[in-house]
Amino acid sequence: MRKDVSQTYAAELDAQDSLQQFRDEFYVQPDKIYFDGNSLGLLSKRSEKALLDILNSWKTNGIDGWVKGENPWFYLSEKLGQKSAPLIGANSNEVIITGSTTANLHQLTATLYQPAGNKTKILADELNFPTDLYALKSQLELHGNDPKHHLIQVKSSDGQTLNEEDIIAAMTEEVAFIVLPSVLYRSGQILDMKRLTKEAHHRGIMIGFDLCHSIGAIPHALSEWNVDFAFWCTYKHLNGGPGSVAGLYINQKHFLKKPGLAGWFGSAKEKQFDLTLDMHPAVDSSAFQVGTPHMLSAAPLIGSLEIFEDAGINHIRQKSLQLTDYMMMLVDAELQMFDFSVGSPRNHEKRGGHILLRHKEAARICKALKENGVIPDFRAPDGIRLAPVALYNTFSEVWQTVRILKNIMMEKQYKQFANTRDVIA
């Protein structure tokens, strides 16, 4: 990619875009530039149709919708798990669409965290999304352990990224369980999951990853890397809609472990409606379901995951890197005079699907961007996250956004706003 800040070059890049046809699949508002797909992805027309189809199945079939129609509800969680598996490099029976991010972390921790002797501690990091830490602390307390002493949080040297050497150094003989983000939600740094898994297993430690900011944005190979478990939401890069049903992966070597949080939908399908008082769990990832699936919150994924099948995760990753490379080039050329700095890694192997811009007036600038039709999000204390999503954003939108940012700073438009976050940042 050449260093060319002209609008003509942006148009050239759009003309060469092999994924450009997928933009028409989404409800892109003509007066908005939507760069918040790493918080909530846009609605696709296929997802809308899939939801309406499930509603129609309910309307026409009633309770028979559990076993009739194009997507019988009784088997939908497994079907969506099979469709999700290629996105994380897993065997199809290792993935299930169920629960929420935090509920799935609770399930996996309750199942796989087995403190014994002096091996009782959980290793995490101080930059992970707080819900993971809340869940881990509560699990420690359920085992009678004090989180102040039993939860190790790897420190960041710069407040934005983690040093993998520091993580490995913290894998002491007291650690039983590790939970880390695959992609850091602020800076977009990718952790080397393969290396960290190998180092953890060398020390006899169970390890898993929060994939919320990586699934649908970067390729994975969880089964090949022998990762023990993973969990994720589906409403960011996967475009499943607000509150859409989450997912979990559990390595097949753990299939026979008794689910820590048992519920009837974890039963073997052929046994479930025997309604016996002793559970007969499924012998794959299905066993880690708890309650009845939320059909109306899972349905949009039917359409969304079809788009990922058609586009291909490797093509998505290639365009994503081009978009973020282009954005950083423009920021370097056009915005450095205004004291912006890029808080995301420059290296392709270390950068996920979004860019973090840092500025002391970040909250104000985010509000000014919204006034100008650009949708970012703010992360305290000084972060502006911009996610040009490969399936529906364009290089021209990146060019326009940097131009708008430059005008905001030149005209000091941000000064009309308070430098505080809104209720939802």
225 labelled as ligand-binding?
A: no
CB–CB of 248/96 below 8 Å?
yes
Ramachandran bin of 187, using left for φ above 0, alpha for ψ from -120 to 50, beta for the remaining angles: alpha
395 labelled as ligand-binding?
A: no
132 labelled as ligand-binding?
A: yes
Contacts of 243 (CB under 8 A, 6+ apart): 100, 235, 297
292 labelled as ligand-binding?
A: yes
102 labelled as ligand-binding?
A: yes
86 labelled as ligand-binding?
A: no
pLDDT for residue 170? 98
Q: Which CATH code is given to the segment(s) 7-31+312-416?
A: 3.90.1150.10
Instruction: Check: pTM over 0.75? Answer yes or no.
Output: yes
pLDDT for residue 1? 79
C-alpha span between 296 and 294 (Å, rounded): 6
Using alpha carbons, select from 257, 267, 272 the residue that is nearest to residue 287. Answer: 267
Contacts of 12 (CB under 8 A, 6+ apart): none
CB–CB of 112/261 below 8 Å?
no
Fold of 49-310: Aspartate Aminotransferase; domain 2 (3.40.640)
Q: Strand 206-210 relative to strand 229-232: parallel, antiparallel, unpaired? A: parallel
Q: What is the mean pLDDT of each run of 10 residues along the chain (425 residues)?
A: 94 98 97 97 98 97 96 98 98 98 98 97 97 98 97 96 98 98 98 98 98 98 98 98 98 97 97 95 97 97 98 98 98 96 97 98 97 96 97 98 98 93 77
129 labelled as ligand-binding?
A: yes
CB–CB of 365/383 below 8 Å?
no
101 labelled as ligand-binding?
A: yes
Q: Pull the structure tokens for residue 204.
A: 């006899």
326 labelled as ligand-binding?
A: no
Task: Parse the chain into domains and list their residue ranges.
Answer: 7-31+312-416, 49-310
pLDDT for residue 179? 98
273 labelled as ligand-binding?
A: no
Whether 49-310 and 7-31+312-416 are alike in CATH topology: the answer is: no
C-alpha span between 217 and 212 (Å, rounded): 10
91: helix, strand or coil: coil
120 labelled as ligand-binding?
A: no
Contacts of 4 (CB under 8 A, 6+ apart): none
